[in-house]
Amino acid sequence: MDNSFISDMSIFNNDISFLIKLRAKPQILEIVKKKHSDEISDEISIQDKKNDLLIWNAMYTREIVENGILTRYLHPIYNKFYTLIPTLNTIDDLQTIEIQMIDTYINLLINDVEVKDNFVINRILKHLHLNIESQISLKKLSGELNLSEGYISDCFKKHMGMTIMKYAKKIRIDRAKVLLVTTTSSILEIGLTLGFHDQSHFHKVFKSFTGVSPSEYRNNNFG
């Protein structure tokens, strides 16, 4: 009997790395849930699944560090999963912990995204990333932060080199790029999901950031 470990092939491509960089947790979860379905169909062994998760625990840690999170914040999280994984003895429990791993690691990135010394900038960045699919307005943002519109605008421009609204568009376009190449949703659906008024508005903003239209980007990168 061959007892060699059959590794998860997605370890060897850049898709997950790309999605982590964009903080695209829904797309990562979609890939992993498809993997879980395949694991059940293929009747993966408990030991192979444990090995798989131990590798991913290390890889998520490496990716998060490369995206700016300090290692001292990651040690207790890494150790928690490293200790817990060997104690689980069903595929269901192991798959559940994999979802928890993704949620924990990616939330750490989202909540500490683009770590800056300035506390106000951190709060603005967190709000923008967590509300990427909602309508963003300076009035709403200033109300939630209990700071004046003028103050948060000046502070953000000084530290980030662009306006809040331009940054909000930038992260929406980054997310749109992921959706265009990882889903079959229509360009209109993607644009509306990310808060653009209509397909024409989405097309104009997308091209201003990427130099190509959404359809051109999809055709050049899909599959």
Task: Say whether both 76 and 45 belong to one domain.
Answer: yes
Task: Say whether both 134 and 210 belong to one domain.
Answer: yes
User: Does a structural domain hold residue 88?
Assistant: yes
pLDDT band at residue 111, thresholds of 50, 70 and 90? low
User: Does a structural domain hold residue 179?
Assistant: yes
CA gap 3, 60 in Å, rounded: 26
> What is the secondary structure of 78-144 as a DSSP string?
HHHHHHHGGG--SHHHHHHHHHHHHHHHHHHHHHTTT--S-HHHHHHHHHHHHTTTS---HHHHHHH
Question: Is the pLDDT confidence value at 127 over 80?
Answer: yes
Task: Say whether both 31 and 106 belong to one domain.
Answer: yes
Share of the chain above pLDDT 70, in %: 87
Sign, CA dihedral 86-87-89-95, equals negative
Last residue of a domain, one of 87, 111, 135: 111
Q: What is residue 67's three-state secondary structure?
A: coil
Fill in the DSSP letter of residue 11. G
Task: Say whether both 133 and 68 belong to one domain.
Answer: no
Query: How buried is residue 154: exposed, middle or buried, by Cβ count under 10 Å (0-12/13-18/19+)?
Result: exposed
Q: Are 85 and 50 in contact (CB under 8 A)?
A: yes
Could you tell me which residue, 163 or 66, shows the higher pLDDT? 163
Sign, CA dihedral 221-108-99-12, equals positive
User: Does a structural domain hold residue 2?
Assistant: no
pLDDT in tens, 144-188: 888 888 888 988 888 888 999 999 999 899 889 888 888 888 999
Q: Are 20 and 31 in contact (CB under 8 A)?
A: no
Q: Which pLDDT score, from 0 to 100, does residue 207 have?
A: 95
Domain that holds residue 175: 119-221
Last residue of a domain, one of 111, 130, 155: 111
Which of 104, 98, 87 minimizes the C-alpha distance to 39?
98
Question: Is the pLDDT confidence value at 11 over 60?
Answer: no
Q: Are 118 and 134 in contact (CB under 8 A)?
A: no
Q: How many domains does the chain have?
A: 2
* pTM assigned to the model: 0.51
CA gap 202, 190 in Å, rounded: 9
Length of the chain: 223
Other Cβ atoms less than 10 A from the Cβ of 122: the count is 16
pLDDT band at residue 75, thresholds of 50, 70 and 90? confident
User: Does a structural domain hold residue 5?
Assistant: no
Task: Say whether both 157 and 211 belong to one domain.
Answer: yes
Last residue of a domain, one of 60, 91, 111: 111
